[in-house]
Amino acid sequence: MSLLYEKRNHIGYLTLNRPEAHNAVDPETVLELVAAWEDYRDDEDLRCIIITGTGDASFCAGADLAKLIPLFTGARHPETDADRQIQADPTISMRAFLRDFDIFKPVVAAINGNAIAGGFELLYAADIRVASENARFGLQEVKWSIFPAGGSTVRLPRQIPYARAMEMLLTGEMIDAGQALQWGFVNRVVPPDRLMDEAQKYAEIIVKNGPLAVQNVKKAVLENTGMSVQEGLNREMELAVPVFLSRDAQEGPRAFKEKRAPVFKGV
C-alpha cells in the first residue's frame, strides 16, 4: 500500500509508503491521503496525528513528477480511475497536501528524510515538526520552471523570516535540518533512531489535554492570522467561550483540586 493509516490510543499514524519513489505522491496516494485526512478530521476518538514516511532517505519528494505533474500539464493522458478523478478535479491534489483543507486537530510531523516541493509544503500544516538529523528541506520548483503552488508564497513567509523564505523560494536550494531548526521551521532535530519516539512524546502530551481547548486554540491561531488585533481578539473570545462552558472545563480544575489526572470527554 502506498499509504499506511493506523489508530491507537487517540493518535492517528499516517505513513507515506513509496520508498522506491522517495515517498512521492502519485494519483492513487492523493486519493488515499484525502480519505485519511477526512477520516482524522471526522473521527471524534482521534485527538492527534503523526505523519511520517517509510525509510530514512525521504519524508516526501512531493508530487510524483512522472505520474501526477504530467496530468496537470497535459503531458500524460489519464490511464486509471485515480488519474481521471484528479484530472476532473485538480483541487483534490491540493487537499491531499492540506492546501484549502482545514484540520483544527493537531498534526505532528516526524520528518525522516528529505522534504522537497509538495513534501515540504505539506509541513506547513503540521503544528509540531520533529526532524531527523539527515533531513533536508527545499522548494526546487523554480529550477524546473514550476510554481510552488501548494501554499508556499503565502504560508512560508509567515512561518520563517521573510528573507529566509525568499532565499528558499527564489534559489530552489536545499537547507539541512540544522538550518531549519535555526530558522524556526522545526521544533527539534534528533538522531534517526529517536525520531518516532520524540514525535510520540509530543502526541501523547497533546492527547492528554482537553480536546475542545486544543482544537479551538489551533482554530483561533489559524483564523486570526491576517486579522487586525481587535478582530483577532473578538474571534478569540468567540472560540474561548464554548470551551469555558464545556464539561471538560469543569473536569480540569476539579481534577487539579483532587490531585488526579483529568478525564476529558471532548464535551
Cα 28-15-69 angle, rounded to 5 deg:
35
User: What whole-number distance in Å separates Cα of residue 213 and Cα of residue 244?
Assistant: 9
User: What whole-number distance in Å separates Cα of residue 20 and Cα of residue 249?
Assistant: 48
Of 121, 167, 231, 238, the catalytic one is 121
Of 141, 223, 231, 236, the catalytic one is 141
Is-catalytic flag, 141? yes
Q: Dihedral of the CA atoms 51, 55, 61, 62 (nearest 10)?
A: -30
State whether residue 131 is helix, strand or coil. strand
Q: How many helices (H) and strands (E) does the chain have?
A: 12, 10
State whether residue 204 is helix, strand or coil. helix
Phi/psi class of residue 172: alpha, beta or left (left: φ > 0; alpha: ψ in -120 to 50)? left
* Residues labelled catalytic: 121, 141
